[in-house]
Amino acid sequence: MQRISEWIWELPQTGGMRVPGRVYADRRLMDGLSGDQSLAQVANVAHLPGILLYSMAMPDIHFGYGFPIGGVAAFSVDEGVVSPGGVGYDINCGVRLIATGLHEDDVKGKVPRLVDRLFNDVPSGVGSSGAIAKLSRRELEQVLVKGAAWAVEHGHGRKDDLERTEDGGALPGADPAAISERAYTRGQDQVGTLGSGNHFLEVQCVDKVFDPVAAAAYGLDKGQITVMIHCGSRGFGYQVCEDYLEVMAGAARRYHIDLPDRQLACAPVTSPEGRRYLSAMACAANYAWANRQMIMHLTEQALLHALRISPKTLDLRLVYDVAHNIAKLERHEVSGSSVDACVHRKGATRAFGPGRPEVPDCYRAVGQPVLIPGDMGTASFVCRGTDRAMTETFGSTCHGAGRVMSRSQALKRAQGRAIDRELQSAGIWVRSQGRKTLAEEMPEAYKDVEAVVGVMDGAGISPKVARLRPLGVVKG
Amino acid sequence: MADRPRRWEPDSRNEAYADLDHPADVFLEIWGDDLSVVFENALFALYDHIAELAGFGTGHEEVITVEGPDAAAVLRSLLAEALYLFSTEGFVAARAEIDVQTRPAGEVGVTARLDGEIVDRRRHTLFTEVKAVTYHQLTVEKTAEGGWRATVLLDV
């Protein structure tokens, strides 16, 4: 590992690697990775055909399925590959940030009531379902094609929510025919549900503004109440990934792609298998956007009921919605020429800079909002995309804190403790379906999110705009 | 083996499987005197992570039949099928009867007769949403002592 700048470490190109690896980290985060297999995964990804510039990892890197979590890899559309392992099981797991017209004083003493109501109204936990009536096959196909717009058409949100969602809340090319019966079965009753594990719904307060100009553009102000939703495509997405891992294992053999790890199974982007995966993945991504749009609607209803205020006073407004697990066809400048790339972000966030047409009008001058959740006891961050991200990381940055402790270690650490009461004494009201999830997700099980975000800020990829402190959390 | 099929009890957990350290997911090590016990214990381990098993009775039966080129592939398919039944029907087994057929060319077939219950959120406690049974570090091997050992990683 060679340190090439304060924030960047390079894995030299050796053996079958087609490009070097690059990891964004400070010394302490890098030390924490020693002996971790995730660096070998960065090197493995560099073996895949058509990879451009570097196999990259963000400072929240940890071991993943084939590709590391926190990994960014772009492949030439003409010569490169697409891999379900580079996206992950929870396709378009992502984050939505909602601003309100409320100030911290407006919710003083009311946070428990708010959180209880959200816990009650937004289905969460293992296999959660039933936020809306079971969808017919035809209706579900509409969800897969239209994404967030499907929810808006049904009265669950406003049209301008779509502009403030990555890709307008729907990836093009979604083909319902690329979806298995099993995925349809798993998807019919989970729109509007949070799920479990690291997914959450959080009531927050803007407690620090780093970049007043960008914060103003995003409509964020110190003391303001925000709500963050973190979830994905639920069982539907898991099934799509499962289905296509099998397809890709066969495809990799057929196209004679030499894989250092079977789990990097992939197919050329332009092959029938590659195209079909992208069509199915788009369906799952759109499912996730519909899901978060629906949860935002349920959140609005829950807040109105709990606070007994008018929609005008609540003044709920979507700041932005980003995908953390996705592969997308994007155009990037590589060594002075424009290249069509298939960019895999697995536990990474798009961070497009000012002026890019993909960034909505209202934010185009300052760059795309980047949403980075931390653990439930610390803070989450709003950052912004930059030109530097466009030239260095295919417009990508980190996605969160990243785990440092296994779930079983966390459970051991939590023995004899009441994590909910510990958080409560820190001023954070938590409701969870299970004590086990709460213990597994304890703040100390995660890397220091300040350090992770600090690296990408220091490297000039995604400077900090604002910090959000949790007041109340619903955990699945 | 005469006492099988038995009801899965938390007390027998330490003889059936262990959680190996893994930063993000659930990495299982599973033991058994023969292949059928390994498969049975693997199902136990999966359900043990999904729900509080002590609260589950029997009465609802399901049968899973899977085949594959080797024991590891079959183990993964078996668990993936069980996870699918849980995800779609809410079915959690409280015990299993496993029949393993090994063919001359090495292919393996498994029939699992599961007896359990459909989740009732008012009575049952659920723990972790298992997203998938992965191919990562998926192994089924004979041990030096003559028993069997398997490893499987659940993405959670």
Residue B73: the pLDDT is 95
Taking CA atoms, A122 is separated from A199, A371, A459, A465, in Å, by 12, 21, 38, 29
Other CB atoms within 10 A of residue A321 CB = 27
Measured between CA atoms, the residue of chain A closest to residue B86 is A127
Residue B8: the pLDDT is 78
Residue A450 has pLDDT above 80, yes or no: yes
Residue B2: the pLDDT is 37
- Picking from B23, B80, B155, the nearest residue to A406 by CB comes out as B23
Contact assessment for residue A107 and residue A114, using Cβ atoms and an 8 Å cutoff? yes
Which residue in A423, A443, A462 sits closest to A112, CA to CA?
A: A423
pLDDT above 90 coverage of chain A, percent: 89
Interface A-B: count of C-beta contacts within 8 A:
86
- Chain B contact set for A262 (CB, 8 A): 135
- Picking from A235, A263, A403, the nearest residue to B87 by CB comes out as A235
The CATH superfamily holding the domain B10-155 is Archease domain (3.55.10.10)
Which residue in B129, B153, B151 sits closest to B141, CA to CA?
A: B151
CA distance B35 to chain A (A): 24
Taking CA atoms, B129 is separated from A76, A195, B50, in Å, by 35, 7, 7
Residue B7 pLDDT class (50, 70, 90 cuts)? low
Span A250-291, pLDDT tens digits: 999 999 999 999 889 999 999 999 999 999 999 999 999 999
pLDDT above 70 coverage of chain B, percent: 96
Residue A92: the pLDDT is 98
Contact assessment for residue A266 and residue A165, using Cβ atoms and an 8 Å cutoff? no
Residue B21: the pLDDT is 81
**Would you call A405 an interface residue with chain B, using a CB distance cutoff of 8 Å?**
yes
Span B67-94, pLDDT tens digits: 999 999 999 999 999 999 999 999 999 9
Domain locations in chain A?
2-475
Residue A405: the pLDDT is 86
Residue B5 has pLDDT above 70, yes or no: no
Q: How high is the ipTM of this complex?
A: 0.89
Residue A36: the pLDDT is 82
- Chain B contact set for A245 (CB, 8 A): 135
| Average pLDDT of the residues in A23-29 | 96
Q: Is A15 helix (H, G, I), strand (E, B) or coil?
A: coil
Residue B3 has pLDDT above 70, yes or no: no
Query: What residues of A are labeled active site?
Result: 399
Report residue A424 as tokens. 């409560």
Residue B105: the pLDDT is 86
Backbone angles phi, psi at A134, to 5 degrees: -50, 135
Q: Which residue matches tokens 């992939």?
A: A266
Residue B6: the pLDDT is 59
Q: Which residues does A27 contact at the CB level (< 8 Å), separation at least 6?
A: none
Residue A401: the pLDDT is 87
Residue B13 has pLDDT above 90, yes or no: no
Residue A454: the pLDDT is 98
Residue A120: the pLDDT is 94
CA distance B51 to chain A (A): 9
**What CATH architecture is A2-475?**
Alpha-Beta Complex (3.90)
CA distance A73 to chain B (A): 20
Residue A73 has pLDDT above 90, yes or no: yes
Look at B134 and A65 and tell me if their CB atoms are within 8 Å: yes
| Average pLDDT of the residues in A343-367 | 98
CA distance B2 to chain A (A): 33
Domain locations in chain B?
10-155
**Terminal Cα distance for chain B, rounded:** 32
Residue A41 pLDDT class (50, 70, 90 cuts)? very high
Span A195-233, pLDDT tens digits: 988 899 999 999 999 999 999 999 999 999 999 999 999
Span B118-149, pLDDT tens digits: 999 889 999 989 999 999 889 999 999 999 99
- Chain A contact set for B50 (CB, 8 A): 126
Look at A238 and B132 and tell me if their CB atoms are within 8 Å: yes
- Picking from A64, A235, A436, the nearest residue to B127 by CB comes out as A436
Residue B1 has pLDDT above 50, yes or no: no
